[in-house]
Amino acid sequence: MSIQDQVIAILAEQAMIEPQDVTFDSTLEDIGIDSMGVVESIFAIEETFDITVPFNANTPAESDFDISTVRSIVAGVERLKAEQG
């Protein structure tokens, strides 16, 4: 599975919806993931990809990881995996 498909699967599971209902432009709020769901999703992403995601739940906007859309999350994970080499 590609990074993109795996991220979408994680988010779909968290939101309890089908993966095909998660679009690139969706925000987490759109698909029904609240602030606790965000923290759980980040944890699942870290466990799946063996990466550390720089995310502070106090100031999501200032974290070095953009969670504003599904697209930005996928891009963030791809960047972290690439940095890992």
Partner 1 sequence: MKRVVITGAGTINALGLSVPATLAAMRAGKCGIGPLEFRDVERLSIRIGAQVHGFESEARYNRQQIALYDRFTQFTLAAAREAIEQSGLTFSGDLADRTGVVLGTAGGGVSTWDDNYRAVYEEGKNRVHPFVVPKLMNNAAASHVSMEWKLRGPSFTVSTACASSNHAMAQAFAMVRSGMAPAMITGGSESMLCFGGVKAWEGLRVMSRDACRPFSANRSGMVQGEGAGIFVFEDYDHARARGAEILCEVAGFAMTSDASDIVMPSKAGAARAMQGALKDAGINREEVGYINAHGTGTAANDKTECAAVADVFGAHADQLMISSTKSMHGHVIGGTGAVELLACIMALRDGFVAPTIGYEEPDPECALDVVPNEARDASVDVALSNAFAFGGMNAVLALRRV
Is 84 a binding residue for partner 1 by CB under 8 A? The answer is no
Is 55 a binding residue for partner 1 by CB under 8 A? The answer is yes
Reading phi first (left if > 0) and then psi (alpha if -120 to 50, else beta), residue 27 is in beta
Residue from 23, 35, 68, 84 that binds partner 1 (CB under 8 A)? Answer: 35
Residue from 12, 17, 37, 43 that binds partner 1 (CB under 8 A)? Answer: 43
Is 68 a binding residue for partner 1 by CB under 8 A? The answer is no
Residue from 1, 2, 58, 85 that binds partner 1 (CB under 8 A)? Answer: 58
Find all residues with CB under 8 Å of 37, minimum gap 6, and list them. Answer: 14, 15, 28
Is 42 a binding residue for partner 1 by CB under 8 A? The answer is yes
* Token pair listed for 23: 């679009």
Q: With CB under 8 A, what is the number of residues at the site for partner 1? A: 11
Reading phi first (left if > 0) and then psi (alpha if -120 to 50, else beta), residue 16 is in left
